[in-house]
Structure formats: structure tokens, C-alpha cells
Amino acid sequence: MNTKLKNLFFAEQNASILFNEIENRNLILAGKSEKELNTEIFNLAF
């Protein structure tokens, strides 16, 4: 497997983990601003 393909594979895995964690933590809620949600997701990812 070449380097680009490996990097894409790992990026996809990381994105899947992040989306699952966003769902598990119930970060997406009615009434929450996009800015607040973006900040929470950024902090979770990094």
C-alpha cells in the first residue's frame, strides 16, 4: 500500500472515531450555535 493510500485510510479511521465520539457525547443539540459546536469538536479533535 502506498503512502497516500495509507494516509487516507488512517484519516478515514480518525474521522470515524471523531464522529462516533461526537455522537456519544451528544454534542449536536438543538439551540447550540454553530460556533459553540465547532469549538467543542475542535477541542475534542485536538
pLDDT band for 1, please (50, 70, 90 cuts): confident
How many domains are contained in the chain?
1
Please report the pLDDT score of residue 36 as a whole number.
98
3-41 confidence digits (pLDDT tens): 999 999 999 999 999 999 999 999 999 999 999 999 999
Map the chain to HEC letters: CCHHHHHHHHHHHHHHHHHHHHHHCCCCCCCCCHHHHHHHHHHHHC
Containing structural domain, residue 31 = 3-45
pTM score? 0.82
